[in-house]
Amino acid sequence: MPEPRTWQLTACSAVLGLALAAGAVTAAGPWDNGQRKAERARAAATTPTGGAHHAAPRPPAGPQRPAPAPSAAGVLRALGAPDTSRPSDLATTLVPLLADPGLGTLRTASVVDVATGKQLYGEGATTPMTPASTIKIATSVAVLSALGPDHRIPTTVVASPDGRTVTLVGGGDPTLDRTRLKALADGTARALKDRGVTGVRVAYDTSLYQGPARHPIGPNDNIAPVGALMLDEGRLDNSDSGPAPRTADPASDTATAFAELLGKAGTKVQGTPTPARAPRAGTDPKTTPLARTESAPLSALVERTLTHSDNDLAEALARQTALARKQPASFAGAGKAVRAELAALGLPTTGARFADGSGLSRDDRISAALLTGLLTRAADPTRPALRPVLTGLPIGGFSGTLEGRFDTAPTTNGAGLVRAKTGTLTGVNTLAGTVVTADGRLLAFAFLAGQTASPYTAQPALDRLSAALASQG
């Protein structure tokens, strides 16, 4: 059973001072790369970009979108105001909203003032719950902490000492696309030509990852087999987010596409690609990479993961954390690495379980207090490497998995003010993120609901909770 409501200081974060609020709101407010960017993108976009779509699609959109959020100046003016929030104030507001039958029979909550680290409201805040896709916040914090925002994931091509075989080596980048694969093939062809090689066999190396490739949920349009080498996330259509039919063997398909491109670049390819270990790089210059391509920096990958609830990318980020922590790049190794990285940040991981990095597993467990702790760490001005966690959160009513929400919240609408990661599995609905209050403070919140009857009733109830925070102060 969830614990009684408490409003004591949490161990999630130290007292940071009001200066943090200014820095965090400036970094994460809806005016920088948030609301205005989202408005421009939405005006230009013609196709939906949803998330994992673990449950049924949302009903048709409601009334016309609300007016944009306040300007930066209007929000920042209030930052010098004293902290007038009282636990009783929030309890009066949130308790009736948490009692909404749409939230099912299990619900927990945590609301924290980011500037002070003070827990303003808690309902079972330390009780582990199934987080669904809000676990991607933990995955993102862990990889940024372990590797930094500038790290890029490589894909390389290595030649055998005799020059007769080239091996495509997967580094774990699911965002590898045909444009970059062609550049890799062109670079390989040029390097082979410089060596006087006109024909080769093609092999591919996926040994960086260990353990089962299939997610425990089995074949599913929400995720491809998890491997170190894949093209376009293994998608068989032209989509770039959301559910899609997936190939059963991403590595083989990628190697086949590479071999075709290599042939078009002027190198004769003999036979079909086969799996093999790449030669180990050594003092022999013939074993150095012939060509290399790299992903976008982790900062961009994290933002994409959170905005579009990208399951394939989330699993890749979890395995990158495992590699950084010298753990096996598997589901189990990634879970151990993520937990260790978060514990090293001083976060409360008691009872937490990271069965995967995407949140598709029902065996995942995270508390509301851990989620708000993660968000508070990401807002800490002394930890700028974690800032993409905030900037990647979808914006209520404008972007990502929140684009079609916050149209119908009564009294106070959170559109443009709420930035949050959604979570949806059958019977599980969650929402965790940040909100700018009426007096310009930044709050971190997490609301987790279990045994819900329908996302059609649970999602609006969660939206009303977070929108209510925007009216505080």
- Indicate the DSSP class of residue 114: T
Question: Active site residue: 13, 110, 118, 136, which one?
Answer: 136
Q: Could you give the angle at which helices 250-264 and 178-194 cross, rounded to 10 degrees?
A: 50
Reduced to 3 states, what is the DSSP secondary structure of residue 159?
strand
Q: How far apart are CA 442 and CA 29, in angstroms?
A: 9
Give the amino acid at 59: P
DSSP sequence for 43-55? HH--S-------S
Contacts of residue 449, defined as CB under 8 A and 6 or more positions apart, other chains included, come to 103, 104, 106, 107, 428, 429, 430, 458, 461, 462
85, 110, 133, 295: the catalytic one is 133
Residue 161 tokens read as 């000492």
Whether 37 is catalytic: no
Could you give the angle at which helices 455-470 and 87-98 cross, rounded to 10 degrees?
160
Q: Where are the domains of the chain?
A: 18-149+299-470, 154-295
Count other Cβ atoms within 10 Å, centred on residue 367.
Answer: 27
Q: How far apart are CA 79 and CA 114, in angstroms?
A: 12
Q: Which one of the listed residues 140, 309, 361, 399 is annotated catalytic?
A: 309
What crossing angle do the helices spanning 311-324 and 331-344 adopt, rounded to 10°?
70
How many CA atoms lie within 13 Å of 442's alpha carbon, on the beta-carbon side?
33
Per-residue pLDDT tens listing for the chain (473 residues): 444 444 443 333 333 333 334 444 344 333 333 333 433 343 333 333 333 443 334 454 444 433 333 333 333 323 333 444 555 589 999 999 999 999 999 999 999 999 999 999 999 999 999 999 999 999 999 999 999 999 999 999 999 988 899 999 999 999 999 999 999 999 999 999 999 999 999 999 999 999 999 999 999 999 999 999 999 999 999 898 899 999 999 999 999 999 999 999 999 999 999 999 998 765 556 668 999 999 999 999 999 999 999 999 999 999 999 999 999 999 999 999 999 999 999 999 999 999 999 999 999 999 999 999 999 999 999 999 999 999 999 999 999 999 999 875 454 578 999 999 999 999 999 999 999 998 889 999 999 999 999 999 999 999 999 999 998 87
400: left (phi over 0), alpha (psi -120 to 50) or beta: left
Rounded to an integer, what distance in angstroms lies between the CA atom of residue 320 and that of residue 391? 21
Read off the tokens for 23.
Answer: 């820095």
Task: Please tell me the class of the 18-149+299-470 domain.
Answer: alpha beta
Among this protein's residues, is 71 annotated catalytic? no
Architecture of domain 154-295: 3-Layer(bba) Sandwich (3.50)
Has 361 been annotated as catalytic? no
Counting beta carbons within 10 angstroms of the beta carbon of residue 152, is it exposed (0 to 12), middle (13 to 18) or buried (19 or more)? Answer: middle
